[in-house]
Structure 1
């Protein structure tokens, strides 16, 4: 997966340190964590572009991003790491943060990442 520049306009999002806990822990290789951060930024870009009107529309977007994290599991494993408890919680928190930042206060974190296999 190639790194790409993502345009996100909400300052709440651009100022947020996504996956901060993973970057602080040497168990998680930064290049793979960068891919995870890119997934979250693409999610933000899609929310800004598509402007989901309700929770089901938001959940459809987060499902795509969660599937991308499912695929990223292979990259973590290849780098001698894993999406385990700490990573799961960090990723889930950032999905919840994104939902909150875009005004979906009633979003359920488990629904945001319902299709996860990590």
Structure 2
């Protein structure tokens, strides 16, 4: 899955989590795949307003909710550092696609 947005083509998704041994690398990679898939969805669906964008980011957030269980099972968790990292990356994605979105609304269905 490739990203055509030049700002995001080489963006280091979840970089802070990837550098921290507290987070299992294979789960960080799954999170990175979720963010890449979000970019692909935005490019494919071309949301025309914030409500359409939020529908896509909320779906990704729900996937992170499921992934949080896997982190727990590995003795890790999506806690403050991870939460801020994920939120910042989702906000960076929104900005790169031209949206001025509220970061809390982007990830509002989170349970982490």
Normalised-by-shorter TM-score class: over 0.9
Aligned to 2:92: 97
Aligned to 2:38: 43
Distance 1:34 1:79 in 2: 14
Aligned to 2:11: 16
5+ residue gaps, structure 1: 1-5
TM-score (normalizing by structure 2): 0.98
5+ residue gaps, structure 2: none
Distance 2:10 2:35 in 1: 13
Which 4+ stretches in 1 moved above 6 angstroms?
A: none
| CA shift for structure 1 position 78 | 1.4
Query: Given the alignment of the two structures, is residue 112 of structure 1 paired with residue 106 of structure 2, yes or no?
Result: yes
Distance 1:15 1:37 in 2: 12
Give the one of 22, 26, 38 matched to 1:27. 22
- The total of aligned residue pairs comes to 112
SS at match of 1:92: helix
Cα RMSD (Å): 0.6
| CA shift for structure 1 position 7 | 2.1
| CA shift for structure 1 position 11 | 1.9
